[in-house]
Amino acid sequence: MQRIADTLSHELFAFDRPETRGHRWHVHLVELFLVVYAAWFCWDWGFYIQRNITEVLLPLGIAQYIDISFLFDHHLAVANAALVTLFGALGFFRVWRPAYAIVFALFHLQYTARYSLGEISHGSNLVGMGMLALALTVLFFSEESHRRRFTMGFLYFFIGLGYTSAAVCKLVATGITWPHGQHLLLWIAERKVDVLSKFGAFDPNLLQEMILANYHWGTAVLVFGLVAEGVSFLMWWRRYRYYIVMLVVSMHFGILFTMNIFFAASTYLLILLGLPWPIIINAAYEWAETGSASPSGKLRRAT
């Protein structure tokens, strides 16, 4: 077990591996994405809370232990969003790096207040995990390179664990018949009602028409999605990482094309994590400096 743990730790973090400019810029882009999306979610939730609710409908999470209704008055939820934006900027521009811990705490408070009022985007969970990673780096690491390695490894680990857990939950709840195409027919019909209610018309795309005409296509789509989630833990290993992450991205586009549901934050973050951006950035630097770009094995190993 210790050998497996050591191998996995090296695959996820590898603090001894050299960094390239591409890797540093890649982590900065991921960090910027997390900070911006955390602020955006908090502003969106803040205005929703102030506009709609005066009391907690269903206490969830920490709302079971503390009274979060104070956020529902005097525009405190909006003020909380402003604080998340402020401290996020302080952390990103390295004015005060521990600010990320405050961002995470305030984000979680806003998340709980909004989630206690109804279901919210799954992508906010990934953003919250990312902010937790940024907050933990300040507590446990002093070197910037180690902080960057930990942030990326933390994200790959918990994203892989989360999607694989989703596949296991589907099988536990429904069994091996979960990918049956008739289930997708039902879900498409339910979405049709939502779309008709919102827009007054529903025009199925080519993939939806194929599934509605023959449920076996729906079975194939669901099997693909279940397999993509089930093997997501393989992103823990560098040799499979880009392929597996982009496989999960493909699953999200499958959800979009079959169900008209787009998990924006999740998909954008996965694209940011799933393409070899360090290699691309290094190649761009090489081209700018020499007039030619040739991603070498050295660049590939540096990711």
pLDDT tens string 155-176: 999 999 999 999 999 999 999 9
With a pLDDT cut of 90, the percent of the chain lying above it is 71
Q: What's the start-to-end Cα distance of the chain, in Å?
A: 26
Q: What pLDDT, on a 0 to 100 scale, did the predictor assign at position 234?
A: 97
CA dihedral sign, ordered 140, 22, 269, 230: negative
CA distance 39 to 45: 10
pTM: 0.92
Q: Indicate if the pLDDT at residue 197 is higher than 70.
A: yes
- Residue carrying the six token digits 């880009």: 242
CA distance 19 to 126: 25
pLDDT tens string 198-220: 788 888 999 999 999 999 999 99
Reduce the DSSP state of residue 173 to 3 states and report it: helix
pLDDT tens string 132-153: 999 999 889 999 999 999 999 9
Q: What pLDDT, on a 0 to 100 scale, did the predictor assign at position 53?
A: 63
pLDDT band at 301 (very low <50, low <70, confident <90, very high): very low
Q: Which residue has the higher pLDDT, 290 or 42?
A: 42
Quick check: 188 and 258 in contact, CB under 8 A? Answer: yes
